[in-house]
Amino acid sequence: MKLKALIGVVIVCLAGVALGANLSGHFGEGSGDGKGLFEPEPVVEVSQISMVCVGDIMAHKPQYNSVLQADGTYDFSDNYTYIKEYIEAADLAFCNVETVFGGQAPRGYPTFCAPDELATNLKDAGFDVAITSNNHMLDCGSDGVLRNLEVLQAAGLKTVGSQLTEEEANFTIVSAQGLKIGVVAYTYQTSPTTINAINIPSAIATRVNSFDPDNWETDIAKVEADVLGAREAGADMVVCYFHWGEEYSPVRDYQRDMAARLAGDSGVDVIFASHPHICQEAEVLWSDKYQKNVPVYYSMGNFISNQRQETLGGRKNVEDGMVAGVTFDITRTDGELTSITLSKADVLPTWVNRYQRGGAWAYHVVPLVNGYEECPSITASGMLSRATASLERTTELINSQYPKDAVGRLVIFDASLWSEAALEPESEAPAEGDDPLETVNGEEVED
């Protein structure tokens, strides 16, 4: 009897082991790693990164004369009083510095040289990255190209578009929200050997990022190599800036073609651009290859300059600009980066106000957001009608059918409203009752 009982116990134990193995194989893939039925769910965390970029920051003679101090120094900080909060609010802010810190006496058009204080003022206004690739980058010669970088970097700004040494990469990498963002910047050439009809000095030819718009299909290989180089250097995202197009003119075909190539095939995440001194349209392109939306801002206009309707033959849109904004969702699973997707792309219209104050010109970048009518710069100048006309121009250009956010920005893409498809600039926002997933979302005045 004892033997039979013992055999029974053994059989029960063996059956229990077999059942446990079966359960382990069903719930824990039989891995024996101790997880089994109690394997924890992955931890998914979603955060965001926001970026803004502005167009041409110029320093014509009347501008720097207006901020000359009694002690001989210059202070441009007042220019950015009303726009500063919108620049500082972004995780990363980019600007095109279309002048040179050449260490010479300040001068304006046709060959620019700005007081060094402007670099510090731009950093104080909230900018993080200064773009140096533009058609005025050679205005102070090869020494000016290098000193320009030194002054901007000493002010605490990252630079991209030109390099101090041969060994430096043609791109820069900045960090924000736990990501590495590669930045690539290029300007157009006026010939294969000139920028703005100035010969590219041989001593720095490889340290100046430029392309020939008449030969862009070949030259774009340089841009694509930099995009790839930034990725290989660890960049999680890549931002491109271009100084391109034609002054005071609509978008050129080659701008669209380059944007389509880079967005569709090269994996860039956003394209910012300027040079025409007027705003051009913005759109969101869909990349089948990378399965993502890519915002493109073809020209952000003048952020600040002395170009006015009074001095440019009645041309009013040279006073218009924008703060181009993008927001991306960052998804991490168990601490590892798993996706970056466009959440929002928008346009904050701006207007350059210039008026006499205390016997001198005052210049302000005015954000044309909700309540802009009460901006002290506008009330002091009495130029509300001109500000309103500027807002109407930019709104119509971008698309008056686009919705506005709580601040007053024009929303050209919102992932919560539109599907993963290219948002054509002439398309309309979803109408009430429509299924949103079915709707695609001496004064110097010349440059």
pLDDT tens per residue across span 351-384? 999 999 999 999 999 999 999 999 999 999 999 9
pLDDT tens per residue across span 392-424? 999 999 999 999 999 999 999 999 886 544 444
Say how far apart CA 375 and CA 413 lie, in whole Å: 28
Rg, the chain, Cα only: 27
Confidence grade of residue 155 (pLDDT, cut at 50, 70, 90): very high
> What are the structure tokens assigned to 305, written together?
């300059």
Please answer whether residues 324 and 282 qualify as being in contact, where contact means their C-beta atoms are separated by less than 8 angstroms: yes
Q: Exposed (0-12), middle (13-18) or buried (19+): which is 305, by Cβ within 10 Å?
A: buried
365-391 core/surface letters (b: 16 or more CB in 10 A; e: else)? bbbbbeebeebebbeebebeebbebbb
**Which percentage of the chain shows pLDDT scores above 70?**
85
Domains of the chain: 44-352 (3.60.21.10)
Mark residue 408 as left, alpha or beta (left: phi above 0; alpha: psi -120 to 50; beta: remaining): left
Say how far apart CA 51 and CA 161 lie, in whole Å: 18
What residue type is assigned to position 245 of the chain? G
Say how far apart CA 328 and CA 334 lie, in whole Å: 19
Neighbours of 415 (CB within 10 A): 17
Instruction: For tokens 């168990």, name the residue.
Output: 334
